[in-house]
Chain A
Amino acid sequence: MIEEHLDFNLLRKCADCGACYNVCPSCLYIEGYDPRAVIKDILEGGFERWLHSEHIWQCLECHQCLELCFQHYGFENAMTTMRLLATKKGIHPAQVKRGWDMFIKTGRLGEPAMGQRKRLGLPEPRPSGKEEFLRLLAIYRERKAQEKKGGEAER
């Protein structure tokens, strides 16, 4: 399952390299943050403990590691995968869930501050695409459900 998300050939090279530890802001300034340790556990088959760790949420997705990498890989991939697997199991910071809930209800992460806008003399904000987004979301969910059914029938 984890192989779906990570290229193990690149990951093995990454485990041997470790160069970008010195440019990663989280490695430099956050105690205990180290994607190299996560990668080691992934390669050795024992990554589950990371799904509960606050460290996997400390990758800033700044892409320094990606840009610097000789194989254009970036050890952020390991962290992104851990977060993906964690959310699949329903393990995530409460704030992430709140943001997600708001997004799928409104298509946005915040509504325009109308009072302040008025005081500043800003025009009415353009209408958002909420209704259309919700229709699209329903279509997307239906497709996914069908795919899942198809996959199960095949098995």
Chain B
Amino acid sequence: MKEFAVFWGCTIPARFPFIEKSVRVVLERMGLPWTECDGFTCCPEKSLINNIDHGLWVLTGARNIAIVDEQGLDLVSPCTGCISNLATIKGELHVDHRKKEEVNSMLKEVGRRFTGSAGLNHLVPFFHDKVGAFRIKGATKRDFRGMRFAIHYGCHMMRPYHALKNDDPLEPKKFDALIGWLGGESVNYMTKLTCCGQGLDRVDQHPTALQMARVKLRELNSLGVDAMVLCCPSCFLQFDNNQFLMEKDGESFGIPVLYFTDLLGLAMGCSPEELGLGQHRISVDGFLEKWERLNAARDTEKRLEEELKEEGAFI
């Protein structure tokens, strides 16, 4: 496997260091060839920067990509926004040589060069494609049989497709496959691919952002899932923080929100403390209790079976 750098972006280190912890713990335990780079800036964020200055958006992204290009690394991000922005910028420069030259003539003045040789991927399709079922199953000790999950993909994990090319943009399957490899059930639900709506919180429209969060949370509440699982800090903000704010105001949903690496980490035997699960605003205690209960029941079953076998019972 080619060595890769992790691109944390701004939101995870600033607002959710416990997500960074969860990702680090999993990458480390898996023994994957990962590293970090000096000198990254904001990816940059699309709705804020691109709306004001497209040229600067492209130039900043190209500089970030140049950092990994120069070191012969690939790049993987646990943030859907970062990876979608970087891939879109890379795609734009690949089809427009004049623009690429122009960007490189400016980068040259700070000693950098964009080639676009680095592969860019989001953590979830990366685990699906590059780490793979064999390695994942080999690294896990426990599974999630009997647990029902609502996957929230997050639009920018696989859209726009022309830039990311990592899953079907309208009917993605890789996250579902990963949950399956961990033994969990991915519940199909109507608003599964609907955008989280967190972007509205960045343009002074908080009540509308909450309105969008409710769409999914209400459906999941009526379906009765054990947790929502996602892999994007903006989506996490929308469903964990904003769900918490609404619950404080008297609404009730009760949907624990897990990061993909939280789930993988638990299956690998990491403790909830190591993964920072206590810092989620919506308590994950109920989820963990159910999981322990199911595991304990299965352990008893297994023990009984073995005891009976030893007694030479005919089963």
Interface residues of A (CB under 8 A from B): 25, 29-30, 54, 57-58, 60-64, 66-68, 72, 80, 83-84, 87, 92-96, 99-100, 103, 107-113, 116-117, 120-122, 125-130, 132-133, 135-137, 139-140, 143-144
Contact = CB atoms under 8 A, between A and B. Distances in A.
B28 to A, nearest CB: 12
Contacts, number: 169
Q: Which of A125, A129, A132, A139 is the most central at the interface, judged by chain B CB atoms within 10 Å of its CB?
A: A129
B247 to A, nearest CB: 20
A109 B197 contact: no
Nearest to B45: A109
Contacts of B44: 103, 109
Given A58-B203, A109-B11, A139-B109, 16 more contacts: A25-B215, A58-B205, A60-B200, A62-B195, A63-B169, A83-B51, A99-B49, A99-B202, A103-B49, A116-B18, A128-B39, A129-B67, A130-B41, A133-B60, A133-B63, A139-B110
Interface on chain A toward B: helix, strand, loop, or mixed SS? Answer: helix
Contacts of A136: 59-60, 63, 106-107, 109-110
Interface on chain B toward A: helix, strand, loop, or mixed SS? Answer: helix
A83 B51 CA distance: 6
Interface residues of B, number: 61
B208 interface: yes
B42 A30 contact: no
Interface stretch (B154-162, B222-230, B290-298): B154-162
B304 interface: no
B315 to A, nearest CB: 48
Which 8 A-B residue pairs are closest in the complex by CB-CB distance? A110-B14, A107-B41, A129-B39, A62-B195, A112-B13, A99-B48, A93-B204, A63-B159
